[in-house]
Amino acid sequence: MDDVRDLHDILGNAEVMKNCEPAYSLEKTSNFLSKFCIEKRGAVAAVHKDSGKMIGYILFNAIDEGVYEIGWFFNKNFWRQGYAYESCKAVIDYAFNVLDAHKIFAETIDSIKSVDMMEKLGMQLEGIQRSHTKDNNGNWRDLYFYGLLKDDWKIL
């Protein structure tokens, strides 16, 4: 719970949350950290090595036996510096090498930044659900599904 302010710097930022849901209040952030991240162990914190500041939230949630969902939100001040890639790659390595995961998947409505990141991580497009969900402005958006199998990770 010591990270609630750092997490709120992320989840409380409207630009960070643009392709997910409206920015969180501090109360919602605190509840999310307590109930989902800690109690359900549904996330991993990305911590800046030099400062000790929590700069990223990485969703990492078991969906089925051997199948995990991954997602990421990073403090805007740390965008485009490689932290998200480095952190997500480490989580994927852990999932395949320690947890013996079979598959990791992600979904997004962000067809540019998030899709680029998924592809950089070696994920492959598994499908697009056209006009499937609404964005924060109420506009219908496509939902992109990407996945990565353990066998494909071994050859990267």
Residues composing the chain = 156
**What is the C-alpha to C-alpha distance for residues 100 and 88, in angstroms, rounded to an integer?**
16
For residue 50 the two structure tokens come to 């030099």
Chain segment 5-25, per-residue pLDDT in tens: 999 999 999 999 998 899 999
Q: Which CATH number does the domain 4-154 belong to among 3.40.630.30, 3.30.110.30, 3.20.20.70, 2.40.50.100? A: 3.40.630.30
**Torsional class of 57: left (φ above 0), alpha (ψ -120 to 50), beta (otherwise):** beta
Domain boundary assignment for the chain? 4-154
Q: What is the pLDDT of residues 92-137, one digit of tens each?
A: 999 999 999 999 999 999 988 899 999 999 999 999 999 999 988 8
pTM: 0.90
Q: Return the sign of the alpha-carbon dihedral for residues 128, 65, 41, 88.
A: negative
